[in-house]
Structure 1
């Protein structure tokens, strides 16, 4: 399932929402669901975004790294695995 380029860009911006902004955790989770449905994100990584959805200041990538899941996602996000 492929989205439009505009939709992809919008979701990419949301999944990269700055930490600490109001509702940013929920925005990141919603965007993560988009990438999960496209097959770009594993269920384990999506679960991390879900857990962080109410914690606007929590970096989900740090938890992904700590759990050792989603190494490809970390690379795509430009984060060190």
Structure 2
């Protein structure tokens, strides 16, 4: 994994809460979507959550039953 990808994984897994964390996660989501690693509808959830620093986009994905593949990729990254 190259340094840019590693950094974006770190950013997209930032926990909800810190100021500007939603926007940071959205920026990382755009990176993964542009690479073809994330579906556009998953990116849209990150966009919606971008101004809501305390909202966990993964929780929203689960609630709306969107992005199961992406959630699995996140789990794999976190457990590695």
Report the TM-score, using the length of structure 1 for normalisation.
Answer: 0.89
Counterpart position of 1:44 = 41
Runs of 4+ in 1 over 4 A off after TM superposition: none
Report the structure, 1 or 2, having the larger helix content: 2
Q: Distance in 1 between matches of 2:70 and 2:46?
A: 12
Q: CA deviation at 1:70?
A: 0.8
**RMSD in angstroms over aligned alpha carbons?**
1.4
Please say if 1:35 is aligned against 2:32.
Answer: yes
Unpaired runs of 5+ residues, structure 1, are none
Structure of higher RCO (CA pairs closer than 8 Å, 6+ residues apart): 2
Q: 2:8 aligns with which of 5, 8, 11?
A: 11
Q: Distance in 1 between matches of 2:55 and 2:48?
A: 10
Summarize the alignment of residues 52-67 of structure 1 with structure 2, pairs less than 5 Å apart: 52-67=49-64
Q: Is the partner of 2:75 in helix, strand or coil?
A: coil
Q: CA deviation at 1:78?
A: 1.1
**Equivalenced residues, count:** 76
